[in-house]
Amino acid sequence: MGDDKVRDKAKLTLRTSGAYEILALFVLILIAFAVNNLVNVKDNPSLRLFLSAAFAISVSIVFLVLFYRQDMLEPEPKKLIALMFLAGAALPILVVNPLLEGVFKISTWSSYGSFMNLIGYILVIGVIVELSKLLLVRYTIFLNKEFDEIVDGVVYMSVVGLGYATALNLKYVISAQGTDLLIGTIRMSTMTMLHASISGFIGFFLGRAKFKEGNKFGLSLGFLAAVIFWGIYHLIIDFSKSGLQFDVWKELLMVAAFSFTIMTVTVGLMRYSIKKEIKVSQGGDQ
Amino acid sequence: MKTSRFVHISDIFLYIVVLILLGIGSIVVNTTINNVSDYKGSYFSLSYPEIWTIRTNSSGNYIKIENINSKSRYKSNLSVKRIVIDKIMKDKKIKPNLNPVMNYMIGLQKQLPMFRQFNTKNTKILSMSGVEFHFAYVYDPPANPSHLADIPIVIKGFARILLNKKGTEFYSMMYRCDQKLFRENLNKAKDIFETLRVKGSK
């Protein structure tokens, strides 16, 4: 009876948790809009930097809660979640950026036009970024006994993606000495959604690789799809610009819609997986 | 196939996919970067990246190569200008020296707003002697209402001015770009400068 209650609660939470967190994100953007209009941050660089950094971290916390709550059947230890988040944040600084700059000379060819960027996003940037996150999870938490269900792949990969995006967002905020609060918050939200969603998507296949025997190609295909997502992201960015004109709202809306689509697919995969586990568990009880 | 907890069969397929993707990526990137076009003019020749665009003047003593894909409103560019030294100077039969080059540099300072010059050093390339220096100035982009802000851009540059052996002419080579892109593209610019061949020089 106690188990049934937990399952019913789990099903209910599955339906509502995503909606709550998306709502929280909109509230955050509204707060950014309000603060942007009420507080004169333009003339106060220190305050602007502080508020931009605060929003960068807040965005990550909202998404962290979103992904964490999806795994309500057997929540992961908070300590491990925090460790993976920090490890993810270290990736762009210690591994990915030095690799992209030092070995793949990204700055040399990134200004070589749209086609070059598309190729670069898919075949170099997407591969290196997602491979680094994947290897981090694969050779740490994947080997731990706490990684005991398929959904854990999504949770830990998403958390690493969130850490990664947080480090990038903070770097963006610091290098620009703070940002326009509204535009900055929306842009950081979309980037965070994108990283978390694409990583979570791969995480699903990583989880399946551990628990579904004979699943040889799933991880490779999931990875391939993820790097293609980075190419689509580049096309969206390219499409939202025309010549020298720069339409930030168009770009933000399109990236948000794309990120949301991947996130919905990922959450859908997670729910499907959890439903199956609940079904198996119910079948075992009868 | 026997696998361990560190290497699953799915890992092996993943690594194969990664190797294929990175391999193709590296080939495409390197091929594109290394594709060059050649400019052969009346006075000098130069090799430059194929996707950059080139403009020359009618007399062929000035070329400007621009990277139209630069991620800035100021498009990174390289220019080469051949400057014939004042006939009076030549007639005086003064031993070739860098005075005309220095005068040219002073002229530049006057033309460009808030011009700053750093790291000047003498150099000797292709039997020609001259100077190299880094500089910066402020560029005011044309007004465009669609942009978020029409704020001035700080341009950074690298210049190499070389005097020919006879002291009858000099070549001013300049690389200029948005200061944010300067460091990452400087070596590429220097590589292009190295391909300059002047008629008569070895």
* Each residue's pLDDT expressed in tens, for chain A with a length of 286 residues: 455 555 555 544 545 555 666 677 778 778 877 887 777 766 777 787 888 888 888 888 888 887 777 666 678 888 999 999 999 999 999 999 998 888 887 766 666 667 777 888 889 999 999 999 999 999 999 999 889 888 888 889 999 999 999 999 898 888 777 677 777 777 788 888 889 889 989 998 999 888 876 678 889 999 999 999 999 988 887 777 655 455 667 777 787 788 778 878 877 777 777 777 677 766 655 4
HSE, CB side, 13 Å, CA atoms: give it for residue B10.
24
Question: Considering Cα of A76, then A80, then A85, then A91, what sign does the dihedral take?
Answer: negative
Chain A interface disruption, residue of B14, B51, B71, most A CBs within 10 A: B14
Under the banding of pLDDT at 50, 70 and 90, the label for residue B29 is confident
A174 token code pair:
């610091």
In chain A, which residues have their Cβ closer than 8 Å to the Cβ of B25?
104, 119-120, 122-124, 127
Whether the CB of A108 is below 8 Å from some CB of chain B: the reply is yes
Please give the Cα distance from A48 to A176 (Å, whole number): 10
Q: What percentage of chain B reaches a pLDDT higher than 70?
A: 80
Q: Do A127 and B10 touch (CB under 8 A)?
A: no
Chain A 206-235, CB below 8 Å of chain B: which residues?
209-210, 215-220, 223-224, 227
Give the highest mean pLDDT range of B11-15, B74-78, B99-103.
Answer: B11-15
Please give the Cα distance from A179 to A184 (Å, whole number): 5
Q: In which domain, by residue range, is A156 found?
A: 2-285
Q: How many other CB atoms are found less than 10 A from the CB of residue A166?
A: 26
- To the nearest 10 degrees (0 to 180), the angle between helices A248-285 and A218-239 is 160
Give the highest mean pLDDT range of A137-141, B72-76, B94-98.
Answer: A137-141
Look at residue A20 in the predicted model and tell me its pLDDT: 66
> How many distinct structural domains can be found in chain A?
1
Element (H, E) at B197: strand B197-198
Please give the Cα distance from A164 to A178 (Å, whole number): 19
Nearest-CA residue of chain A relative to B4? Answer: A143
For B60, phi then psi, to 5°, come to 80, 15
